[in-house]
Structure 1
């Protein structure tokens, strides 16, 4: 709906009540830019003009009460960063996990991001001055929680949600310099990525999607192409987890057009290789091998000065993801060798990843017809996941349990099944 049509519809809504509204296109544009908020009466007219019930209006929460489009995704734009954050926070609050954002909708977001230049920062109109000390405190607090051991991070979900809500309020209502604005948008993107991974690990996929999307909007606002590409790759990873490998590949193709840092490109190529291999199309074998070779080359050039969100990418990830891709291609022996090597190389601090890698190793042993070491790896993964609070890892192990049923006489299998049932 154009601003002219919306203004006319608002005047018509007032006219049906025997009243007059002076709303014109210029006033609608002021509302859109965020410098002026419509009064409660005008918001009721806006709801009616958009075909929404009047009781949806919350005058003190303009414009966040307006629902997102039918596909569930806030469109990318110069003023979209705060509405996207609000949508993610609302999804967390009312647990709307029965909604699903489709792969097609996420692919469209990726295409928009790939085609759009970095958004100019929206002019701040808030009345509450924000200074460097507050932004630094928020940044330091975020880094502190992100640096906690995996076992401790399971207790920080509520605190991280509160931090993200605080940063959103500061962005929306604060008055700050353009330099601080860039830092705040980058902080919102970083926090969104962390919160989204927590939700994803807990199986709350809709909240994870909305929060990654909110991070994407803020990375776009901050002009951080690499981080935007990383957030797209997280969405692709989620789609691959939900077995939508075609949409995952499409998103990663878009993300690779924006990523520049070798570590970022390594991660994207690894995930692309996994998504291509999982499609089960043997004609894609060469594309998978090319992606794995590209990932290795990028990792060799990555160096130590990396963006924080992909600083963890290592030889261990290269080995295990390569092994998983080769497993899908049917190269079982080589896949098992790489997965075992990657699990051995993994730093002790990455317990959650270790649990996932152990589950992968168990699957590769089963593919080789060796249930005893498979049971040992699966049981270690199960106990580790329970200790650190990693439901996603638990699901990987639980999905393997039916494959152990024909091997109940093998050493370690009864103990695994008993531990899983406990």
Structure 2
């Protein structure tokens, strides 16, 4: 035994042989290694997949102290790039490998990636999600027991963070979400749970990753946001949560529209609709149809856009409260009406867009202030394109009243574009509004 290694030292302290370690690993994950595999690890080889995390958890449990995979095998922690986990199998082990990248690997600080993925880098994982059969979630027999009540608390936290994102958003909320993601990851990798609890826990992981990815993209951190979304997709697949997985693919599609990758956006949203599962109808199906309409609009496909908007309207009317998952609470008639308005605006039909936007904003009331900010700016754009300068100025000033939500990168970009449109007019009113926007953006 190589007593100079951390692994060798841990086994010596426990009085274990490598064979004993192999038996413990196979008790946790049956038939996962040969009895002689730990001998190779002591000679310098590195275990595959999520085995480093499993070994670390076993040793931590028996030594009653924290032992990490990165301490046991530091070369494995630093050798692969930030995206190495994307090549892992679509399995529970593959999900855990991705989890390590966010909690202890190169993505933990958010600085491990610099370029957004595109093309096959995004389409490939979505197709894998669509085509890989669901598999039962494996429980975990060692560690501190995780009760159903603990999962209830985590689920409540996710709901609170979603509401906080509605009301505030920004870097503070993103940091909060990632802290909770780290905690949920710790439970997944170190706790004891049966398959039912494991399934719920992986759904929570998927929701937290989706929320982190959405917020990161909204803040302009698109490369990091994509990785969170792709990890969330794996966690949703592990949890056999098709609706949540479809929502995550639709987020990737929506983010592609922000990058003007319109063909990519359409391919992704079609994959999401194909894989959503469940009976047709309801808020989730309506959301996906609306996002497909947006992709058609950006490609100038008027007939396809109009058809899918009609589908969305019919689907949301068929929704029953009990059929809507908790995370989809925000998919309301207000959201769908306003998104339809944005689609018509992108099709070059500002008069139709204004009707939908006004209806959506009326239905919002005081809810979802960041969405109201974005859609009020769309209303100003629609009025400018109809040469209604007074109406555009009114809508812009209403949007500026919601300036506290301008920490959204999308919102700031949209506001800067609106200022540019006002600059095309030399009227005193347009000049005043341009100055007002400039002052807010500079603050």
TM interval, short-chain normalised: 0.7 to 0.9
Q: The residue matched to 1:252 in structure 2 has which SS?
A: helix
| 1:156 positional shift | 3.0
Residue of structure 2 equivalent to 1:237: 254
- CA distance in structure 2 between the partners assigned to 1:222 and 1:293 by the alignment: 32
Note closer, same or farther for the CA distance 1:310–1:131 as it changes in structure 2 (3 Å cut). Answer: closer
Aligned with residue 95 of structure 2, among 67, 77, 81: 81
Matched, 1:190 2:190: no
Equivalent residue in structure 2 for 1:67, among 46, 70, 80:
80
2:331 corresponds to 1:313: yes
SS at match of 2:311: helix
Structure 2 partner of 1:361: 379
1:364, distance to aligned residue in structure 2 (A): 0.7
The answer to whether structure 1 residue 268 and structure 2 residue 288 are counterparts is yes
1:354-405 per-residue CA deviation (whole Å, 9 max, x = no partner) reads: 0110111111111111223223322332441435743321221112211111
**Where does residue 395 of structure 1 map in the other structure?**
413
Partner of 1:417: 435
Name the TM-score, length of structure 2 as normaliser. 0.78
Find the residue that maps to 1:148 and give its secondary structure. helix
CA separation of 1:347/1:218 partners in 2, compared to 1, >3 Å: closer, same or farther? farther
Q: Which residue of 2 aligns with 1:132?
A: 148
The farther-off stretch of 68-77 and 308-317 is 68-77
Counterpart residue number, 2:7:
none
**2:318 corresponds to 1:301:** yes
In 2, Cα distance between equivalents of 1:183 and 1:45: 35
Instruction: Work out the CA distance in 2 between the residues paired with 1:316 and 1:381.
Output: 17
Inter-partner Cα distance in structure 2 for 1:84 and 1:163: 16
Could you say if the C-alpha distance between residues 292 and 42 of structure 1 is closer, same or farther in structure 2, counting changes exceeding 3 Å? farther
CA distance in 1, matches of 2:38, 2:115: 30
Matched, 1:116 2:128: no
Q: Which runs of 5+ in 1 are unaligned?
A: 1-21, 48-56
- Picking from 326, 335, 340, the partner of 2:344 is 326
Alpha-carbon offset, residue 142 of structure 1 = 2.7
Q: Which consecutive segments of 4 or more residues in structure 1 shift more than 4 A?
A: 32-44, 61-66, 68-72
Q: Partner of 2:70 in structure 1?
A: 58
Q: CA deviation at 1:412?
A: 5.5
Q: 1:255 aligns with which of 260, 272, 275?
A: 272
Q: Within 2, Cα distance between the matches of 1:72 and 1:103?
A: 18
Indicate the residue corresponding to 1:142 in structure 2. 158
Aligned partners of 1:362 and 1:373 also within 8 Å: yes
**SS of corresponding position for 2:390:** helix
Q: Which has the higher contact order (CA 8 A, sep 6+)?
A: 1
Rounded Cα–Cα distance in structure 2 between residues aligned with 1:265 and 1:361: 26
Closer/same/farther in 2, CA of residues 109 and 353 from structure 1, 3 Å limit? same
The structural deviation recorded for 1:70 is 6.5
Shift of 1:310: 1.9
Cα deviation for residue 341 of structure 1 reads: 1.9
CA RMSD of aligned residues (A): 3.2
Question: CA–CA distance in 2 between the matches of 1:309 and 1:140?
Answer: 11
**Aligned equivalent of 1:380:** 398
SS in 2 for 1:119: coil
* Count of residue pairs the alignment pairs up: 387
Flag the 1:184–1:70 CA change in 2: closer, same or farther, 3 A. closer
Q: Deviations over 1:60-96 (max 9, x none)?
A: 4786656368687344233222222333444251423
Mapped pair 1:165 → 2:182: yes
Deviation readout 1:94-142 (Å, 9 max, x if unpaired): 4234222113211111111111222322342543332233323322333
Partner of 1:177: 194
The alpha carbon displacement at 1:221 in A equals 1.1
In structure 2, C-alpha distance between the alignment counterparts of 1:358 and 1:235, rounded to whole Å: 24
CA distance in structure 2 between the aligned counterparts of 1:398 and 1:368, rounded to whole angstroms: 19
Cα deviation, residue 291, structure 1: 1.0
Per-residue CA shift, 1:210-249, capped at 9, x if unaligned? 1111111111111111111001101111111111111111
Distance in 1, Cα, partners of 2:245 & 2:43: 33
Question: Structure 1 length normalisation: TM-score?
Answer: 0.81
